[in-house]
Structure 1
Amino acid sequence: MNKTRVAAALAILTFTLSATAADQVVAIRAGKLVDVVGGKVLQDQTILVSGERITAVGPTASTTVPAGARVIDLSRETVLPGLIDVHVHLTGDPNLHGYRSLGVSDIRAAMYGAYAARRTLEAGFTTVRNVGASGFGDVALRDAINDGELPGPRMRVAGYAIGIQGGHCDNNLLPHDFHFTENGVADGPWAARAKVREMAKFGADTIKICASGGVLSKGDEAGAQQLTLEEMKAIVEEAHKLGRRVAAHAHGASSIRDAILAGVESVEHASLIDDEGIRLAREKGTYLVMDIYNDDFILQEGAKAGMLPESLEKERMVGQLQRDNFRKAFKAGDKMAFGTDAGVYPHGDNARQFFYMVKYGMTPMQALQAATINGADLLGWKDRVGSITPGKYADIVAVGGDPLADPAALTRVDFVMKGGAVIRSDARK
């Protein structure tokens, strides 16, 4: 047999073996299955997975498992959909805040992102929205994960966050001598439109804007509005024209109001939201993404991580108000999605926020829905992720405890599957 025929035979064999592996059915025996769509827990269920997708879900007693299927026994576990965090910064190192961040190159940050992506996935977060990264590091990370080169969650990414000169999304740590302006800066409606086009050109599938000042930025007030209503309307119109959704960083009441009126899909942080903002978010269907775990890490560990004294003072001013307003907005009927600002605190600790969401007004099921079906809806991926439903990706996690009795159980994930591939399996036998 000549070399050409040998190569052809090997190619056919390789394709056949790959197809067989891809087509193998996996049957997951779930002792308890959290049905986030129905808001209930089902007992003794079997999930059938073929390739990347879920093909069937039903009671174990009446579900036929095909001959030759691989069986994964999670009969002593609580099984739930892969979790979704819609506000992360995977390329952000939580130990390098403030002036320490100036020594980090875009390339180094992207490399750190590979580590953070794996940590996040192993913690049970199979989908994230990365709302801001320098050097389009999040675009590169998303693409490497999609191409199978790195382990990590599914990603929506924003590239650079868009904001005003000297604002929260600019870098104000360097003196005038350096003449440095962050790449996401845009002043005026047409400059803002051009910046949206630039983000889209280089791979962003989400647009992030900074409507107000921030806690961890230098020289601004968290509650002060920065982008104008006119600028935000231009950004949203341009983003929607290009098929992108918009997330608005906004702490202050006026910036929250104008961001909602401009048509953003979500308001991030929303710390100082007032009654008008709560009403508008409910009427417009705007999601609120309130990172209410962060306060603990910033106040307890922020100084050691290099955060500026002024940032710690700003957090003392807004942290508890944000938690109180979370309770108020949720009680009023505003839509909530789970977002934590991971990168401010260590990646992989995302699930610590569930405790605070329950403490400040949600039931454990509602907190899980915020991190599954609500997050999927906000991302425009409700047909792909967010529930254990036939046709969706087989993104599945399991915990040994009962997260509906103890939300802290979600910080101890035993099993993670993404797209039918087992990422980790420490489940009890």
Structure 2
Amino acid sequence: MEYMIRGKKLVTVSKLDTIKDGAMVIKGGKIAAVGQWSELKESFSGIKVLDYSKYIITPSLIDCHTHLLEFAPTSLYPVTAETHFLAGKAILFQALSSGITALGEQICGHPQCDFSIDDYRKAVKDFPMDISFAATSISIGFEQLAHFTSVTQSKSVSQLELTDLKVVQEIAEESDYPGENIFINATPANFTEEQVPRAGQIIYSFEELKQIADTYHKLGKKIGAHVAGEKGIEMALDAGIDVLHHAQGINDELAEKAAKLGVHIIATPIGGTHLLPNSPEEILSLMENNIPVSISTDAYLPPHPDASWLPFNDRSLKGPDTLMAIARPAMKLLHDYGYDENVLLAMITANPAKLLRKDKKFGRLEAGLDADFLVAEGVPGLEITENSDIKKVYFKGKEVINRVRK
């Protein structure tokens, strides 16, 4: 299948930057050429043209930290083991219709779901979305801490078992990318404050954390951690953690240290830890320190009640369909500080693609990459936040969502 698509402008998130009156040539699900419409129409005369010159063309979106297949179905629907993955696919479709064609999905172990990480992989192998799985352990901040792992599935484990290097190695071997592999702080998850009084408690000693990080590195893998607060973040950086998920409460000194170590940070403006979520100002500070930042939903979560920058009036669980809305306050602030739209859009496209170790496949509009792109009313997050403003979604060159009806 070969065609050319024309747009009012292409925000490429690549060295090509923004191309006004631009076009892309798609061949076999890949981007074959990107450039000015006036040039490509001469070089590829005779090829079918899809004229969307009223719209903006951008890479499709990436939500690199989610819990859509394991925890979301039981949080949102009255599922059983028989219907669990039906609900999961419905949730994935909602993400797809929101412009998201790639996910970083966490598999933590769930007391009601005795599924292996391979079960999750098989359930979605034919879904039109690229899903990377992070195998993890998790500690939930109930009065009596609850610990689970992806490899022990629905069976709870003791805190001592979390540091069993055989278990750690098995988790590391099953993980596709440095997701939320360990929880340095106990998580509130999506429970109320009263239900999780020990949320935020540090689970590991520094020595344990260092051993776990070394186990990943000996396997040639990077490790990511759920962490918040100055003490936990400092421990993570000193222990060699490669990716900080949340990093809420990071100070300037630790941000500078993270930058020197080449650490990637996944900001979650909606919540995710016991502390105030990543504010637009905190994300600006991270960017000013030249830290690679991705913005993610950590869905499904209730919005933090004190996150005044969020556009929500209730505390109902929010999903990946809110990615543009929660990214916008930071993107707008950064834009006011002079950051280019390509740099801003990278936080929900190219940066998470690199985190997922898929930057040679997607995340930018660039020749040789998969043709994963959006046809939209504006730049996602910066200019638009309503999913209805995403008119078409393409995955590997195929149209998978269409809101333009003739």
The reply to whether residue 195 of structure 1 matches residue 161 of structure 2 is no
Deviations 1:245-300 (A, max 9, x none): 322101121111222222223111111212332122111111111111348xxxxx
Question: What is the CA-CA distance between 1:78 and the residue it aligns to?
Answer: 0.3
The one-letter amino acid of 2:251's match is: D
Partner SS for 1:386: coil
Question: 2:132 matched to which residue of 1?
Answer: 156
Q: Deviations over 1:207-246 (max 9, x none)?
A: 5110112233644544432122222222222223334332
- Which residue, 387, 402, 408 being the options, matches 2:364? 387
Matched, 1:84 2:62: yes
Are 1:353 and 2:326 counterparts? yes
Distance 1:133 1:81, change over 3 A: same
Cα deviations by residue, 1:340-366 (Å, 9 ceiling, x for unpaired): 112222342222122122255454543
Q: Which amino acid in 1 is paired with 2:119?
A: A
Query: Can you give the 5+ residue segments of structure 1 that lack an aligned partner in the other structure?
Result: 1-23, 172-179, 296-310
Show the 5 A alignment for 1:68-79: 69-79=47-57
Q: Secondary structure at the match of 2:208?
A: helix
Task: Give the structure 2 partner of residue 278 of structure 1.
Answer: 255
Report deviation, 1:197. Answer: 2.9
The 5 Å alignment of 1:285-296 reads: 285-294=262-271
Task: For 1:131, give the aligned amino acid.
Answer: Q
Contact residue 140 and residue 196 of structure 2 kept, 8 A: no
**Aligned match of 1:209:** 182
Match for residue 89 of structure 2? 114
Q: Are the structure 2 counterparts of residues 418 and 186 from structure 1 closer, same or farther at C-alpha, using a change threshold of 3 Å?
A: farther
- Residue range with higher mean Cα deviation, 134-143 or 391-400: 134-143
Determine whether 1:319 maps to 2:276.
yes
1:395-414 CA-partner distances (Å, limit 9, x unpaired): 11121235586242667311
Q: Give the paired residue count.
A: 369
TM-score (structure 2 length as normaliser): 0.79
- Aligned-partner SS, 1:392: coil
How many Å separate the matches in 2 of 1:199 and 1:277? 28
CA separation in 1, counterparts of 2:327 and 2:228?
21
CA distance in 2, matches of 1:407, 1:270: 27
Residue 339 in structure 1 maps to residue 300 in structure 2: no
Deviation at 1:81, TM superposition (A): 0.7
C-alpha distance 114-253 of structure 1, shift in aligned 2 (>3 A): same
The residue identity in structure 2 corresponding to 1:30 is G
Q: What SS does structure 2 have at the residue aligned with 1:406?
A: coil
Provide the C-alpha distance between the structure 1 equivalents of 2:365 and 2:57, rounded to a whole number of angstroms. 9
Please tell me whether the aligned partners of residues 59 and 349 of structure 2 are also in contact (alpha carbons under 8 angstroms): yes
Which structure 2 residue ranges, 5 or more long, are not aligned?
Answer: 149-153, 302-317
Q: Which amino acid aligns with 1:419?
A: K
Name the SS of the counterpart of 1:206 in structure 2: coil
CA contact (8 A) 2:73 2:79 kept: no
Higher helix share: 1
Match of 1:329 in 2: 286
Evaluate the alpha carbon distance shift between residue 369 and residue 331 of structure 1 in structure 2; reply closer, same or farther with a 3 A threshold.
same
Larger radius of gyration between Structure 1 and Structure 2: 1
CA separation in 2, counterparts of 1:394 and 1:158? 25
Deviation at 1:123, TM superposition (A): 1.2
Structure 1 residues 30 and 321: CA distance shift in structure 2, 3 A: closer
Distance apart, 1:155 and its partner CA: 1.3
- CA 261–402 in structure 1, closer or farther in 2 if over 3 Å, else same: same
Letter of the 1:348 counterpart: D
Identity of counterpart residues, as a percentage? 23
Q: Describe how 1:1-80 pairs up with structure 2 within 5 A.
A: 24-38=1-15, 40-63=17-40, 64=42, 66=44, 69-80=47-58
Aligned mates of 1:221, 1:411 — CA distance in 2: 40
Asked if 2 retains the 8 angstrom alpha-carbon contact of 1:270 and 1:322, the reply is: no
C-alpha contact (below 8 Å) 2:177/2:355 kept by paired residues: no
CA distance in 2, matches of 1:248, 1:50: 39
Q: How does 1:87-98 map to 2 (within 5 A)?
A: 87-91=65-69
Distance, in Å, in 2 between the alignment partners of 1:408 and 1:67 is: 36
The answer to whether structure 1 residue 247 and structure 2 residue 247 are counterparts is no
What is residue 225 of structure 1 aligned with on the other side? Answer: 202
**Equivalent residue of 2:169, what SS?**
helix
Structure 1 residue aligned with 2:306: none
TM-score after normalising by structure 1: 0.75
State whether residues 189 and 231 of structure 1, in contact with CA within 8 Å, keep that contact through their aligned partners in structure 2.
Answer: no
Deviations 1:149-188, CA, capped at 9 Å, x for gaps: x33x2111123435599787727xxxxxxxx8536x6526
Q: Which amino acid aligns with 2:296?
A: G
- Secondary structure at the aligned position of 2:135 is classed as coil
Q: CA-to-partner distance for each residue in 1:102-132, whole Å, 9 max, x for gaps?
A: x865665443221111211221111111123
| Displacement of 1:138 | 5.6
Aligned position for 1:4 = none
Distance 1:428 1:37, change over 3 A: farther
Give, in whole Å, the separation in 2 of the partners of 1:219 and 1:139.
30
* In structure 1, C-alpha distance between the alignment counterparts of 2:36 and 2:345, rounded to whole Å: 22
